């Protein structure tokens, strides 16, 4: 009996952060709302929201924000207020390029983008992880006040990436601020 209690405990604890999603998601503290697709799983980590359908190693969408003065993990460069979208994209991509876990980084597209009327950037890139898996990502970034908001789609390049681009773009379109910025 005790063994079964342990198994149930491990299963429950192991799955605890992931919850099923679908519909409007509001995060008052981080001042944004998005329409999430049905049948995906959600996990909140700090100021980041992750959703996935097939597992994070195959695909995930990440929405969140970070303080612009916070240090980045791999480059010493920082985001700053008044930075142009192209400069913000430069910092974001340089942080990736300096990450030793990212191999064969290829920037496919880096263009201006507007999210809810706020000028930002859209970067599309591919890379290989240390296990040789080729991944592809679309990243929208924009600076609002002291925050850099990011909406990121990340998936295995083969098969999975194409599959959820539309879902991702719908999420980007649905992004909104709860309070006016």
Partner 1 sequence: MRDIGLVLLFCLVFAGCPTTSLPPLTQDFRLEEDETRLWLRFEETEKWIQKSGLIYHDEGLEIYLNDIAQKLQPPATLKNISFRIKILKYHLPNAFSFPTGLILIDTGALSRLENEAQLATILGHEMIHTTHRHALKKFRDSKNKSAFLATVTYGTGGLGSIIGALGALTTVMSYSRELETEADTEGFKLMAGAGYDPEEAPKFYLYMRKEYEEEKIKEEHFFGTHPRFQERAENYENLLKTKYKDKQGGVQNSEVFMEKIHRVILDNASLDLKAGRFKIAERGVEKYLTIKPNDPKAYCFLGEIYRQKAEKEDLEKAKEHYQKAISIDPSYPDAHKGIGFIYFKQGEKEQAKKCLKQYLSLSPQAMDKAYIEEYLKQCNGGEKP
Contacts with partner 1, residue ranges (CB under 8 A): 74-78, 80, 84-87, 90, 94, 97-98, 100, 103-105, 107, 110-112, 128, 132
Whichever of 54 and 90 has its CB closer to partner 1, that residue is 90
**Cβ at position 144, least distance to partner 1 in Å:** 19
| Closest among 94, 81, 93, 85 to 142, alpha carbons compared | 85
CB of 70 to partner 1, least distance (A): 14
Identify the burial level of 82 via C-beta atoms within 10 angstroms of its C-beta, where 0-12 means exposed, 13-18 middle and 19 or more buried. exposed
Pick 74 or 163: Cβ nearer partner 1: 74
Write the DSSP symbol of residue 85. H
- Phi first, then psi, for residue 85 (nearest 5°) are -55, -35
Counting beta carbons within 10 angstroms of the beta carbon of residue 35, is it exposed (0 to 12), middle (13 to 18) or buried (19 or more)?
middle
Q: Least Å distance between CB 180 and partner 1?
A: 23
- Provide the CA 45 distance to its chain's centre, in angstroms: 11
Which CB atom, from 22 or from 112, has the smaller least distance to partner 1?
112
Rounded-to-integer distance, Cα 177 and Cα 95, Å: 27
CA angle, corner 156, sides to 34 and 177, nearest 5? 15
Least distance to partner 1, CB of residue 103, Å: 5
Query: Considering only CA atoms, which of 131, 132, 149 is closest in space to residue 140?
Result: 149
* DSSP label at residue 72: P
């Amino acid at each position: 009996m005790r063994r079964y209690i342990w198994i149930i405990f491990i299963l429950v604890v192991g799955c605890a952060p992931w919850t099923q999603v679908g519909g409007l998601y509001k995060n008052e503290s981080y001042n944004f709302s998005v329409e999430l697709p049905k049948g995906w799983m959600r996990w909140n980590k700090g100021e980041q929201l992750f959703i996935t359908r097939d597992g994070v190693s195959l695909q995930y969408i990440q929405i969140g924000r970070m303080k612009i003065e916070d240090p980045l993990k791999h480059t010493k460069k920082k985001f700053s207020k008044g930075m142009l979208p192209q400069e913000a994209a430069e910092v974001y991509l340089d942080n990736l390029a300096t990450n030793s876990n990212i191999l064969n980084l290829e920037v496919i597209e880096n263009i201006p983008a507007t999210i809810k009327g706020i000028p930002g950037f859209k970067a599309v890139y591919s890379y290989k992880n240390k296990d040789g898996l080729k991944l592809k990502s679309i990243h929208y970034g924009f600076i609002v006040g002291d925050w850099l908001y990011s909406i990121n789609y990340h998936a295995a390049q083969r098969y999975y990436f194409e599959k959820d681009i539309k879902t991702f773009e719908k999420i980007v379109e649905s992004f909104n601020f709860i309070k006016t910025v």
